[in-house]
Amino acid sequence: MVIKPFTFSRIPKIHFGAGSIEMLDSLLGGFGATALIVTGSRSLESSGKFDVVEQALRKRLDAVHYFTVSGEPSPDLIDEAVANFKNSGIDAVCAIGGGSVLDAGKAISAMLPGGDSVFDYLEGVGTGKQHDGRKVPFIAVPTTAGTGSEATKNAVLSTVGADGYKKSLRHDNFIPDIALIDPELMLSCPLHVTSSTGMDALTQLMEAYVSTNASPVTDAAAFSGLEYAVDNLIPACTTGAENVGVRAGMAYAALQSGICLANAGLGTVHGLASALGGLFDIPHGVVCGTVMGAAVRVTIERLRSEKETGLTGLRKYADIGMLMADGDVPDMDGACDLLIMKLAEWTEMLRIPRLGDYGVTGSDIDSIIEKTDNKNNPVDLDREDIRRILVARI
């Protein structure tokens, strides 16, 4: 088998395990005496760890500053944080929260050394400036198992509206210096967040696995993550929500999804998520979770029509379907059919909202299609294919 050329970005230094949050003060102290902690509105407090973490930080460091992120971050929010703390002598930034909080912390760390607006550096919408990669050291502490931002080189920022966008600030140096992953922080994650972020992690693993830019390295990482996601996603949202082992399984799956997306890229689901996230105020995980099943079904149908050229993608989708087989191992077609069926079942079982619940209507479809990119999908979907996906989930 011929291995095509590939590159692989570095990953953070990873500290993974229950109780690892207790290392945070010493890890931050290794960078200096002044830290900026970026948090969500409730996640750290809900975990019951806030007081312990804060006391340890106050004891170890000379100064600890806090900045709160609510919802998905905008360029204005990042500029506000940078203006507030630019002259505070920040030695390290630590983000503790979901994917939006981690993206915000990543962008703040990247913009603190400079003086421009972060908008200038956003892909596709900014002024075309190229970031030099300088940043303040950054530690990512996820409290949800979803985006894998703790292992990626980009920070996603957005504004919502008719001219809205969801775009990345990206540089190889923006990969977090440290990813501290404590599944105990995820025990208090609400069901609706666990389900949507979990579906996002599953989507990222699947899209990276079937990506046209995949390599043997990303395939191995993605498949390992898929095994844990398939085993733990439903339990994390039901009977295993308070099981640290189940939460650890999903945390591992999300971590691998971040590593894989940074190196193999994603597909049409995330192309749709970018378009929808700029036009409507929809959580990223909900978009991915609600359209994934329909997108996989349409993609498999197209691959089947491509005959010889579609076999590689079909075999990979079949690999994932095999993981979901409870009894007899099906053939390739049967495994693909099983995958389609299971994704539809899980979408309903987890009560992932429809696009219509966020105001998306049939009249919006054309504008969504115009902004949608196939990215590294195993087959390029045309306008009618994407229309079928959207109609199925409105």
**CATH number reported for the structural domain that contains residue 211 in this entry:** 1.20.1090.10
Give pLDDT tens digits for 152-169: 999 999 999 888 999 999
Of 51 and 30, which is predicted with more confidence?
A: 30
Q: What is the mean pLDDT of residues 362-379?
A: 96
**CATH number reported for the structural domain that contains residue 85 in this entry:** 3.40.50.1970
Q: What is the mean pLDDT of residues 351-362?
A: 97
Shared domain for 198 and 104, answered yes or no, is: no
CB 168 within 8 A of CB 72: no
- For 139, the enclosing helix (H) or strand (E) is strand 138-142
Domain assignment present for residue 39? The answer is yes
Shared domain for 246 and 181, answered yes or no, is: no
**Where is the domain boundary, 116, 151, 186?**
186
Domain assignment present for residue 264? The answer is yes
Range of 251's domain? Answer: 191-393
Q: What is the mean pLDDT of the chain?
A: 95
CA 268 to chain centre: 15
Give pLDDT tens digits for 129-140: 999 999 999 999
SS3 12: coil
What is the reported pTM? 0.95
Give pLDDT tens digits for 292-326: 999 999 999 999 998 778 899 999 999 999 999 97
Domain assignment present for residue 3? The answer is no
Q: What is the mean pLDDT of residues 102-109?
A: 98
Domain assignment present for residue 226? The answer is yes
The residue behind tokens 């996820």 is 142
**Where is the domain boundary, 186, 201, 230?**
186
Count up the domains in the chain and report the number.
2
Looking at the predicted structure, is the pLDDT value of residue 49 above 90?
no
Task: Give me the long-range contacts of 268-271 (CB less than 8 A, separation at least 24).
Answer: 268/295, 268/299, 268/372, 268/373, 268/374, 268/375, 268/377, 268/381, 268/386, 268/389, 269/203, 269/207, 269/295, 270/203, 270/204, 270/207, 270/375, 271/372, 271/373, 271/374, 271/375, 271/377
**Where is the domain boundary, 186, 206, 230?**
186
Under the banding of pLDDT at 50, 70 and 90, the label for residue 43 is low
